[in-house]
Amino acid sequence: MTAVSVMGGSGYVGGELLRLLVSHPDCQLQIVTSRRNAGDPIYRVHPNLRGVTTLTFHKESLEAVASKSDVVFTALPHGRSMDVVPELLERGLRVVDLAADFRLKDAASYKEYYGVPHGRQDLLKRSVYGLPELHRDEIKTAKLVSVPGCMATAAILSLAPIISNGLIDLERIVIDAKIGSSGAGVSPTAASHHSERTGGVRPYKAVGHRHIGEVEQELTALAERKVIVSFTPHAVNMIRGILATSHTFTNGNIEPRDVFKAYRAKYAEEPFIRLVSDKKGLYGLPNPKVTVGTNYCDIGFDIDTHAHRLVLFAALDNLTKGAAGAAVQCFNIMCGLDERTGLNLVGMHP
């Protein structure tokens, strides 16, 4: 049994993490911190956990967390992890960070996408990008794992096998992502106001989105040459879920079997990747609706012979496979557990 704590447990990602950890058979949940809600029972913020846990939120205390934990999940706002994580590591703890602070290996890229210099550049090379499908062996021995951004996860997982097999033009990749309102976090804004969001589709950060840095970093490593992607997200009228549609252009003629072969070679043994390409039924291509609450990423494709275009689709729950579920999957790998432990979750339909 591993003693775990969560720093920053009052947000949507923190709540999803707690939902998974309270029933995890190899976790003993110790401390859950929240500056805003210290002293309140967890169920007051996360009502789905009423009757499931009697824990209350604890004030943020590195000493208390370090004294009672083997592994710490940090679900703090972007920018705060770089202040907290180094001290946790110095105290001998292993850390799974769900913020963006240690995802990028290049400090210049961090400044480009986040607008501030990185305060602990020495840890950027030591952190492991927490995408098990690409970095499982590194995660096994990591002291610091940085969970990817949710939209980056969807884009990378759908593109990685295609790029590894040289099927597309690396200079023309256009990613169009649709994301539910929970991706904006728990703090309301004018843009997340119900009357503004409902009934619309709103492009935002149409160019230069932060997740571009992660996507290019991982795809460049696979291609062994610089990969440039175009990326535009859209806020859509759902609460949870992402659908990433990647428009790519082929190097010559390809057949469906070529694409299936690439995906199966990479993902045949992956427990949370499902290939979805069915010519019949409403769900013949990925739809985030059926991934909600699960750690699955559904991937599909279609071939546009007219325009020599290969269209890739990836659907996942932004709070689970896109954040907390991925964190627990990494935790399982770090602890030598079956990585499906605590994550055998089936989605709902309808």
CB 286 within 8 Å of CB 310: no
From the list 307, 313, 242, 244, the residue with the least C-alpha distance to 277 is 313
Return d(Cα 314, Cα 285) in angstroms, integer: 9
User: What DSSP line would sit under 77-130, residue for residue?
Assistant: PTTTHHHHHHHHHHTT-EEEE-SSTTT-S-HHHHHHHHSS--TTGGGTTTSEE-
Clarify whether 335 is annotated catalytic: no
From the list 344, 349, 330, 259, the residue with the least C-alpha distance to 94 is 330
Return d(Cα 273, Cα 220) in angstroms, integer: 22
Helix (H, G, I), strand (E, B) or coil at 28: strand
Catalytic residue (choose from 27, 150, 297, 330) = 150
Query: Which pair of structure tokens corresponds to residue 23?
Result: 């029933």
The residues carrying an active-site annotation are: 150
